[in-house]
Structure 1
Amino acid sequence: MLITTPRFTLRPLGVQDRDQVVAGLNDYEVTRWLTVVPFPYGPADFDGFLKFITGKPAYEALAICEGDTVLGVTGIGNSLGYWLARAHHGRGVMSEAAGALVNWFFTNTNAEALSSGYFEGNEASLGVLTKLGFTPTGQIEPAFCVSQDREIGLIILKLSRKAWEVRK
């Protein structure tokens, strides 16, 4: 599976990405906004994640690449998820990459809606989701954040197929 945008390529995450992913996620300012990612994050954590996604659909974990550089990861399992290495924040990377994945998702599945969420206080993630057309559901779920070792409110948003098609 390969998705291209004007600036990036989204491709299945692989063992060749270990060093770059570890470097991107071994940053508390990134992992503090993610549910299941520990801090510090090391090669064994990456290897465990690769083992976890083995056999799952490729779109559940796609490396966001600019040439040979892995900028972050996005995927759709039960919901849209993503992270971006801090060095690449503020460039519109995630809006473009996640937008391409959402477009692929609605083009290639029969799903009528897609959900996502962000931890209270993560205004950058809220900005990405809003830009993609997600709207608040009014639902806040307690979610355990491994890197912070505590529960945090996860604000749930939804994007309907109809809303996505209208905005295109």
Structure 2
Amino acid sequence: MVDATDPLVQVWPLFGLEIATPRLVLTPVRDEHLPGLVDAVLAGIHDPAEMPFSVPWTDAPRDVLITETAKHQWRLRAGVSAGEWTVNFAVLHEGRVIGVQDLAARSFPLLRRVETGSWLTRAAHGRGFGTEMRAAVLQFAFDHLGATSAVSGAVAWNAASLGVSRRLGYVPNGTALAEARRGEVQVLQNLLLAREDFVRPDWVAEVRGLQAALTLLIPGSLRGAAG
């Protein structure tokens, strides 16, 4: 559990945010998570013959992956402002980083919409963690931030990701074409979830450090309704 009196939490309140599920703890990536995050990336996220990401970042050489993983996290923090943000949550299982679940918003006061993306190290695949961590941030967005819809997407062949979306109540929301690595074209399936259609799990995520985090994520005029 994050200590609310931690000086870093006082400086950057998002560091005090935690979302706990039956098996996982999600917390915005801190610098102490970076070595575990790098290890999870280097252990492999997907079959090297496939590319599930629209930006093929996992193709980068090992030394580039290591430094770019850290730089990416620092860039995301620097870009956070009330109503416009991407928060990368480190996904912890038994204290070890096994992946990332991100939650993003643009023009949130107007749109009340969030977008999700995620990855898991390959050793954690097939255990239901993907559904559990997405359900956690959806509960956070709908029940604590005041979001009314969520969007996501996956390449059309990514049955695992699409299966998570289907189980949680998303519906197809059109397709797009994207250039994959080696000049190939992939079909991206877009997905939409209305708050009222969210298929909730039989557990409720525990959210800690909410009020302080809201000061960075939500404009002051919306905080009472969100929290």
Tell me the TM-score normalised to structure 2 length.
Answer: 0.65
Partner of 2:121: 85
Which one of 45, 48, 54 corresponds to residue 35 of structure 1?
Answer: 54
- Is 1:143 paired with 2:178? yes
1:18-167 to 2 correspondences below 5 Å: 18-26=34-42, 27=44, 29=46, 32-36=51-55, 37-40=57-60, 42-55=65-78, 56=80, 60-78=87-105, 79-137=115-173, 139-145=174-180, 148=181, 150=183, 151-164=185-198, 167=199
Kept after mapping to 1: 8 A contact 2:28/2:89: yes
Which sections of structure 2, spanning at least 5 residues, go unmatched?
A: 1-16, 106-114, 201-227
Which of structures 1 and 2 has the bigger CA Rg? 2
Tell me the TM-score normalised to structure 1 length.
Answer: 0.86
Which sections of structure 1, spanning at least 5 residues, go unmatched?
A: none
Give the RMSD, CA atoms, in angstroms.
2.2
| Paired residues, number | 163
SS of the equivalent of 1:29 reads: coil
CA distance in 1, matches of 2:137, 2:191: 17
Amino acid at match of 1:72: G
Q: Percent identity?
A: 25
CA distance in 1, matches of 2:33, 2:129: 18
CA distance in 2, matches of 1:121, 1:50: 28
